[in-house]
Structure 1
């Protein structure tokens, strides 16, 4: 599985959005960072909490020049249901991420359990901060649904990074 390395380019990709638009990484960058939050999908209650938390903090991220988008491999129907059931009406919600793209991004893949509402295949959670030049600054890629990076700590880290021109770490691979 390829792993993205800080200071190297993040592959460009496009996904459909629940608002009817499209998100293309190379075309929608925040002033300082684009926050890509990859979530497991409608079946995941932890994702629900994380996306709601991110939506509550959108203004905090925007104040720091960070544009946020949440993306899953769910189909349109499941993504729309997530938006409606979870009250996600401000956070950009992308869907239909292809497995090949998920693998290029280094996301872990899981097979759905037959006795659950999980889809046949889906990606596990990840959170990236991507600079406007489309290079990776920060990555948290998980193989399990639990223990996500706290968004308040991420905001503090962004404040520190911006105030101190702090370089991306992990750049040696």
Structure 2
């Protein structure tokens, strides 16, 4: 199980803009915010990422790099990017299920119009040295941390130099 103050696995993922994003190559001033979403099939994910879009500048102002990833195929991720109002959200695809398990994420078997298997949501705040600061991991699309709450928490952490917790 991945714990705070531990180095996270590296993550290399393709983005819908044709570039590759690699966690170990990130150099944020404060943190990287990795948001894992279920995929195109998820209306709750659509709402969450569309709420993220206008808040990106607040994260950037705090020195936080943001990325959203799923296990969706390239075609589905590009459809997500085109259909959802997320023009400035870096969107990654084909996050391997096996790697998601290394991050402690939950995997679901699809029902109805869902993919055969997919990754349930997670949110990770990662220090520039790739050390996990905190994580929120869900077993279904509900109960995600509010983005305004995350922004407020990051402000607090940076102002108070608050240490990562949960490592014991």
Whole-angstrom distance in 2 between the partners of 1:57 and 1:107: 25
Tell me, what secondary structure is at the counterpart of 2:21?
strand
How far does residue 91 in structure 1 lie from its aligned partner after superposition?
0.6
Aligned to 1:40: 38
Give the TM-score normalised by the residue count of structure 1. Answer: 0.95
What is the correspondence of 1:15-164 to structure 2 with a 5 Å cutoff?
Answer: 15-113=13-111, 116-164=112-160
Aligned to 2:12: 14
How far does residue 87 in structure 1 lie from its aligned partner after superposition?
2.2
Paired residues, number: 168
Whole-angstrom distance in 1 between the partners of 2:99 and 2:117: 13
Whole-angstrom distance in 1 between the partners of 2:113 and 2:23: 30
How far does residue 89 in structure 1 lie from its aligned partner after superposition?
1.3
Give the TM-score normalised by the residue count of structure 2. Answer: 0.98
Unaligned runs of 5+ in 1: none
Q: Is the 8 A contact 2:53 2:85 kept in 1?
A: no
Whole-angstrom distance in 2 between the partners of 1:69 and 1:21: 13
Report runs of 4+ in structure 1 exceeding 3 Å deviation: none
Output the aligned Cα RMSD.
0.7
